[in-house]
Amino acid sequence: MTEKQYTGQFHYEVTEAEPRPSLLYQRHLRLTKRSRMANFAGYIMPLWYSTPSKEHQAVRRAAGIFDCTHMAVLEVAGPGSTEFLHAVTSNDIKKLIDGKAQYSFVFDAAGNILDDIIVYRRGDEQYMLVVNAANESKIKAYFNALQNRRVVIDTETPEKQLEHQPRIRDMKDTFAGKDCRVDIAVQGPTTNAILCRLSDDLQIREKINSLTAFRFFETELDGINCIISRTGYSGSSTGVEVFVHPEKAVKLWDALMEAGKNFGLEPCGLASRDSLRIEAGLPLYGHELNGKHDISPFEAGYGWAVKLRKRFFIGKNQIKKRKNYKMQIVRLQTVSGKGTRPVRADDAVLNSKGECIGWITSAAAVDSDGFAQAYIDKKYAEEKKHLGIYYLARSKRQVEQGKKTSADLGDKLESETHGTIVSRSAKF
Amino acid sequence: MAPKGLFFTENHEWIKLEGDTATVGVTDHAQESLGEITFVELPIEGKELSAGDEAAVVESSKAASDVYSPAGGTVTEVNNALEDNPETINESCYEDGWIWKMTVKDKSEVEGLIDEQAYNKYVEGLE
């Protein structure tokens, strides 16, 4: 038993709860049908309102508004916050200043990625963490276990424990404190113009217009207190996430929808949220990070957020062993359009000899553009390289016809469509 | 709402009986939940099907969905126009978006399926 614990692996079983309607559910019902909504990480969320392609294009050409109220928002505050987060997250939190945010990883002591998160420094010893909705209960349980000294944090010195115990609070929970937050995102080139419609104050408008990447500030929009942050998940360089009190979320949504009327603002669902992040080359936990291939941050192209020069962070001893790697994530342009079978996750990626060199991890299509990310042998990861793609069987009939349901590295397969490697990420 | 005179399956296929032949497609609820359909794999003409056999695959960028034969019989014609214009299913699932035609071995098999009223109720229950 004890030996098992020293592997430093954090076990957590997700219990499936009855899905809850999102805070903005009543607004969604006015804009789309119930049949276009689905359970996502325990929340009933819209997949799309008009069509996924239209919403994707709106974000590239004008703006889109996303219900991100399902995202977990935690506060780490009080004495010891900085030291706690310095040990629990992989990036260098001491580089943060007030009003600046940072992308980071949370590992267990075995070096498994528990989540990729964004840490916002709101003040001295006051941080806001945005955590993937799907990982919310796991991260909460992990932080709780860390505070109660119930997990190994260093496999080499199993008796070691964290010294600092800051206050940790769920900021979505209105019973847990006054300062509560949920996330509504506006992404796309007309974002600033839309936000500026909601403030007469020239200074605030100036602040909105001059806000650079990963910076944020607290202000009022249409009389509603909020945090405006130049972050997002669409690849838009002008997008924002607006963090607002849960009780004011509907009011802010309405204000933004109204302000966006003349700026091409479209409500966007989970389908376009996914196609936009795939096009931009952004990873999704479980697909391009961790997941069935156990993809490391180095392989995903996010090794820069793992600061191995730090004296200590949980998982460092294990994750540093993966600094040299053979497989990596690439972004692909694929063939799409009417009458073309769409590429899907797990389809095999082939070299010119037809040998399997990896797998698709995510794919989407917007009109005649196909986007994908794939986990492939690093030897082939050159921009402009053409790679073959083999569709895995989608039905029993295809299996009967001899189509494979999975592919292993080195398998000889016939290329049925293709993709071209493009730069690892794209900004719009 | 599903049109009158057709029979339906709980997997959201419809079948229209005309004499000994029948036309098969997917329902409005099916095309709605799939979203923009970009690819249709048609059955092969002459193929013998039993009720419940996988006959076609309809794919959108979000999902691939099997279309099962609502009845037993032989495929006599497939809607080749769907290969170039799969979105016809989104636009006209009960008319131009039909998928295949077949002879039906046992008409009572079709008549034993649910009618439009029962199907509408079934879909309502899913919402």
What digits encode the pLDDT tens for the residues A276-301? 999 999 999 999 999 999 999 999 99
pLDDT at A1: 36
Torsion of CA A190, A192, A194, A197, to 10 degrees: -140
Contact across the interface for A394 and B59, Cβ inside 8 Å: yes
Residues 6+ apart with CB under 8 A from A10: A108, A109, A110, A112, A114, A138, A142, A145, A151
Say whether pLDDT at A4 is over 60. no
Say whether pLDDT at A198 is over 70. yes
Q: What is the pLDDT of residues A340-393, one digit of tens each?
A: 899 999 999 999 999 999 999 999 999 889 999 999 999 999 999 999 999 999
Q: Do domains A20-69+179-276 and A327-428 have the same CATH topology?
A: no
Query: Mean of the per-residue pLDDT values for chain B?
Result: 92
Residue in B33, B35, B54 nearest the CB of A51? B35
**pLDDT (average), residues B20-24:** 94
Residue A359 corresponds to which amino acid? Answer: W
A34 CB within 8 Å of a chain B CB: yes
pLDDT at B61: 75
Residue A257, Ramachandran bin (φ over 0: left; ψ between -120 and 50: alpha; else beta): alpha
Higher pLDDT, A73 or A341: A73
- A20 phi and psi, to 5 degrees? -105, 150
Share of chain A above pLDDT 70, in %: 99
Q: CATH classification of B7-105, choosing from 1.10.10.10, 2.40.50.100, 2.40.400.10, 3.40.50.150?
A: 2.40.50.100
Query: Mean of the per-residue pLDDT values for chain A?
Result: 94
The strand pair at A43-46 and A72-77 is best described as unpaired
pLDDT confidence of B52, banded at 50, 70, 90? very high
The two structure tokens encoding residue A4? 């098992």
Contact across the interface for A365 and B38, Cβ inside 8 Å: yes
Selection from A289, A267, A280 nearest residue A231 by Cα: A280
Contact across the interface for A397 and B54, Cβ inside 8 Å: yes
DSSP helix/strand/coil, A273: helix
pLDDT at B46: 94
Q: Closest-CA residue in chain A for B126?
A: A35
Q: Where are the domains of chain B?
A: 7-105
Q: Closest-CA residue in chain A for B66?
A: A395
Chain-centroid distance, C-alpha A400? 38
Q: What is the pLDDT of residues A36-61, one digit of tens each?
A: 888 999 999 999 999 999 999 999 99
Say whether pLDDT at A178 is over 50. yes
B77 CB within 8 Å of a chain A CB: no
**pLDDT (average), residues B94-118:** 94
Q: Which of residues 82-121 of B touch A (CB under 8 A)?
A: 83-87
pLDDT at A2: 39
Cα–Cα–Cα angle for A44, A50, A52, rounded to 5 degrees = 80
The two structure tokens encoding residue A309? 């020069």
pLDDT confidence of A394, banded at 50, 70, 90? confident
Residue in B38, B41, B126 nearest the CB of A338? B38
Share of chain A above pLDDT 90, in %: 87
CA distances for A152 relative to A4, A11, A108, A157, A213, angstroms: 11, 12, 8, 8, 36
Q: What is the pLDDT of residues A94-146, one digit of tens each?
A: 999 999 999 999 999 999 999 999 999 999 999 999 999 999 999 999 999 99
pLDDT at B127: 67
pLDDT at A378: 97
| Domain spanning A327-428, CATH class | mainly beta
A360 CB within 8 Å of a chain B CB: no
A193 CB within 8 Å of a chain B CB: no
Q: What superfamily does domain A20-69+179-276 belong to in CATH?
A: Probable tRNA modification gtpase trme; domain 1 (3.30.1360.120)
Q: Where are the domains of chain A?
A: 20-69+179-276, 327-428
Kindly provide the ipTM of the predicted complex, given to two decimals.
0.79
pLDDT confidence of A3, banded at 50, 70, 90? very low
Count Cβ atoms below 10 Å from residue A126 Cβ, excluding itself.
18
Q: Closest-CA residue in chain B for A32?
A: B32
pLDDT confidence of A8, banded at 50, 70, 90? confident
Q: How far apart are CA B8 and CA A258, in angstroms?
A: 42
pLDDT at A396: 79
Find out whether A58 and A50 touch, Cβ atoms under 8 Å: no
Which of B38, B54, B61, B126 has the most A C-beta neighbours within 10 Å, making it the best mutation to test the interface with A? B61
pLDDT confidence of A6, banded at 50, 70, 90? low
pLDDT at A337: 78
Which of A338, A368, A398, A399 has the most B C-beta neighbours within 10 Å, making it the best mutation to test the interface with B? A338
Selection from A270, A316, A280 nearest residue A301 by Cα: A280
**pLDDT (average), residues B93-113:** 94
Q: How far apart are CA A97 and CA B19, in angstroms?
A: 77
Selection from B11, B3, B59 nearest residue B35 by Cα: B59
